[in-house]
Amino acid sequence: MRFQSVTDKRGAACGWVLAISVVFWGLSASCVGEPAETLTGEQRVSHVLDRLALGASLGGVEGVDEAGWEAWVRGQLEPGGIENGACDAYVQEHFPSLMMTMDQVWAAYDPPYENDPPTREEIDRRDRLRYELSQELVGSVIYRAVFSERRFEEVMAEFWRNHFNVDHNKDEVRFLAAHYEQTVIRRHQFGKFSDMLLASARHPAMLIYLDNDVSQKPLTDREKRMLVRYEGRKYQPRSVSALGRQRGLNENYARELMELHTLGVANENRKGGYSQRDVTELARLLTGWTAGRPRGETVGYGFRFRKEVHDDNRKRVLGMSFDGRAGEAGGVRFIHALGEHEQTARFISLKLCRYLVNDDPPGELVDEVAEVFEQTGGDLTKVYEAILFSDAFMDPVNYRAKFRTPFEFVVASLRVTGAKVTGFGGTREALRKMGQPVYGCVDPTGYDDAAEAWLDPGVLVYRWDFALRLTRGAVPGVRVPGAFWGGLPKGDPAGLKRALAEGLLAEGVGGEGWDGLDRALGEKPEAKRAAGLMLGSPMFQEQ
């Protein structure tokens, strides 16, 4: 009983651990065995692979044990130094939209109709292109998560695309999301947090997803009176009808920028908190930040500051003042400050520790990491380093303490079986059913990052279904290769079980829960079914 015994042993060894290990149940159970104060070498390797590599891959531990896990992690913290040619070549060949500018995507995947009205063929072609584009985006995410050599880069990309969530099903975001993935998430995730924040704030995908694109300076009282005066009249001066078309403020982005992206929810004692007034003032400060769209052949897709809809009045947000001349630079100045705010340091550190260490990370760890964040001005590589080389990361209480999200489960399954992937429809659909479609979270919150959210009785069924279909070769576009099945012993049920368990499960034969699994496999297990059962077993849902 790994969870329990580890915790109990720690508890027996040093009482203070009890205070921080509240996430574990069964603390009151009797203590047995010797104190296990540290993880074994094998456990360390397995922990690093699960948490920092999205699972072990078939037949190898990618140098984690050879070099020592610390050296491996240091290498992964500088992904640019890791040779990744095969993966890059595949991405370029199969997901061309990932390498394009937004204008190129638009031209290639939304070609203008030549006939007016368009023919059935033209319409079908456009629909097909749209589907392909969406498939490239989702496929690229899954492909890189499974096959990139830069393992930790993929782990963090998953974190940040969830943190700065955009739903590619909204409006034009489908044409912009690939560029967003490349230039906001991947470009900045080992740099400064405030740079990523600013990049997200200025990207058309975010501007459209959270409506800042349509937020404009509110009407003045005088303008409102004008509108009321002419209301219902047949003839209005042109200036008044122009006012009538003018859009007003839209607070959606301003609010989420503070609540979800940086400061966190305003807390009761108002420390680092913000008010409704701050939200409104920030929305005014960001008026004019819009998504530029192609017009003619000169101006392409990108950020565009539209002075004519920017609110030039004085604003005051979180104690910072902006006069009428601040313009676009005012917003940049504010976002930069927001990205380095004390409360932001704390909120981002908490989320990262929750992701990398434990759903309920120790407060001391979060404090330490937040301090590094503040001292380095939000240098994300330094922040990751602080977490990964903390005592807490390798603390036995955090070993296999997290329930895999559907994404983590699917990717780990494909990796550990060495699956050949030629299409992404099957995995994409499986993730949708498990409740975690890629780039498909409607809410700006992103997916819930605590295990609780994924532990519903019904949803496990989809994992089992996926596990059995994967090993049986019934997930479209995915095949578990001969290399996986080839080496298995024949006519030796016990040997087969042992070989499969050692390949697929972190603890191999004899780990916690093995007896139950052994029974479920039966006397004469068939290899594909046995492998499927292992992937769907409780052990494989942990990391």
Partner 1 sequence: MGTTRRQFMKRTGTLALGAAGLGALGTRAVFGAGDGGTVGKPTLVVLYLRGGSDPLNALIPYGERTYYNMRPTIAVPGPGEGNKRNQVIALNDYFGFHPSMAGLARLYKKGLMAPIVNAGSTHPTRSHFDAQDFMERAAPGVKSVTEGWLNRFLYMTKGGDDSDLRAVSFQPVLPRSLRGQYPALAVPDENTQKAAGAFAGLYGCDDAKATAKAQASSGQDKPGVGGDESGRATGRGRIIDAGAQGIVRLGRLNEVLSSEKLVSGGDYPKTQLGGQFRDIAKLIKAGAGLEVAAIDYNGWDHHAMQGASYGVFSEMMGNVSDTIEAFVEDLGPMIDRTVVLTMSEFGRTARENGNSGSDHGHGGYMLAVGGPINGGRFYGKWTGLSSRSLYEGRDLPVHTDFRDVFAEILSGLYGFQADEHQFFPEYDANDKPIGLVKV
Kindly identify the residues of this chain, within the stretch 213-242, that bind partner 1 according to CB under 8 A: 214-216, 218, 228, 231
Cα–Cα distance between 530 and 449 in angstroms, integer?
31
Which amino acid makes up residue 468?
Answer: L
What would the x/- binding string for partner 1 be over residues 321 to 360, using CB under 8 A? --------------------------------------xx
- CA distances, 439 to each of 105, 146, 153, 177, 459 (Å): 17, 17, 18, 8, 20
98 or 263: whose CB is closer to partner 1? 263
What minimum distance in Å lies between the beta carbon of 163 and partner 1?
13
504 or 533: whose CB is closer to partner 1? 533
What minimum distance in Å lies between the beta carbon of 389 and partner 1?
24
Q: Is-contact 408 49, C-beta < 8 A? A: no
User: Dihedral, CA atoms, 352, 358, 360, 361, nearest 10 degrees?
Assistant: -60
What would the x/- binding string for partner 1 be over residues 85 to 114, using CB under 8 A? ------------------------------
**Helix, strand, coil % over all residues of the chain, rounded to 5:** 55, 5, 40
Q: Nearest to residue 247, comparing CAs of 204, 208, 212, 282?
A: 212
Interface with partner 1, residue 32, by CB under 8 A:
no
Q: Nearest to residue 376, comparing CAs of 182, 108, 190?
A: 190
Give the footprint of partner 1 on residues 146-165 (CB under 8 A).
none
Give the footprint of partner 1 on residues 379-418 (CB under 8 A).
401-403
Give the footprint of partner 1 on residues 417-436 (CB under 8 A).
433-435
Interface with partner 1, residue 126, by CB under 8 A:
no
Pick one of 187, 225, 229, 247: the residue that binds partner 1 (CB under 8 A).
Answer: 247
User: Dihedral, CA atoms, 253, 256, 257, 260, nearest 10 degrees?
Assistant: -160
140 or 543: whose CB is closer to partner 1? 543
Q: Is-contact 404 542, C-beta < 8 A? A: yes
Note the residue count of the chain.
543
Q: Checking DSSP bridges between strand 478-479 and strand 420-421, what pairing results, if any?
A: antiparallel
Residues in contact with partner 1, counted by CB under 8 A, come to a total of 76
116 or 268: whose CB is closer to partner 1? 268
What would the x/- binding string for partner 1 be over residues 277 to 296, using CB under 8 A? --x-----------------
Pick one of 13, 14, 19, 29: the residue that binds partner 1 (CB under 8 A).
Answer: 29
